[in-house]
Amino acid sequence: MYETGAAIYVYFSMPFDKVKPKENIIEMYEDVENRSRDAVFKYGGSISHHHGVGKLRKRFMERSVSDLNNVLLEGVKKSVDPNNIFAINNTIYRSDAEKIRDHQFVLKTE
């Protein structure tokens, strides 16, 4: 618990030997995570974390922050790290194609 609310850490696993067909395990994981995030957003939660958003969760940024936030973040990144050495591909998309690919599993259940 924090002064501004609670931080809930949840881990889940799936018994790989019981998943059928095995080719669907990524889609199953994505479905559980996306539905969980939908519930978090519905009740005012966010994806912020003391380690940062990172590669796997950046697709949820547009549901968490304003467009201005993304413009500012991109500007800081270009000024401080113009060669894109640090945190490569974290939080900021390098291309529209990458963003489209990354959003393929995101559910729009709002």
DSSP string, 11-53: -----GGG-SSGGGHHHHHHHHHHHHHHHHHHTT-----TT--
The single residue of 2, 9, 11, 43 carrying the catalytic annotation is: 9
CA 13 to chain centroid, in Å, comes to 18
Mark whether 9 is an active-site residue.
yes
Tokens at 45, concatenated: 């939660």
Q: Which residues contact 25 (CB under 8 A, 6 or more apart)?
A: 14, 16, 19
Separation of alpha carbons 56 and 102, rounded Å? 9
Q: Which positions are annotated as active-site residues?
A: 9
